[in-house]
Amino acid sequence: MTQSAQKNSSDDLTKKVCWECGGEMGQIIGFDKNAEGDMVPQRRGWYCVQCKTFSQAVLRERTVLDDYY
């Protein structure tokens, strides 16, 4: 795997492996107002449909890049 491919895969936080069942967790996106009053996306966490597990996003995980929502 090339360095740019590694960077892209680590930046893609749209999906995660569920730590409970090993299934796929999908991201949950909410919207907050910024200082200018604009609505901006913010990742809340990930949800596994198979086992109904929720994993909360922390720190940099909350930032949503335009390419990933």
Q: Which pTM does this prediction carry?
A: 0.74
The domain limits of the chain are: 3-68
pLDDT in tens, 7-49: 455 678 899 999 999 999 999 999 999 999 999 999 999 999 9
Whether residue 5 has pLDDT greater than 50? no
> Both tokens of residue 67?
């390419």
CA distances from 16 to 29, 36, 43, 52 (A): 14, 32, 13, 14
Which has more confidence, 41 or 5?
41
Has residue 3 got a pLDDT over 70?
Answer: no
Mean pLDDT of the 43-64 span: 95
The encoded tokens of residue 55 equal 């994993």
List 17's β-bridge partners, or say none: 24
Extract the tokens encoding 19: 């730590």
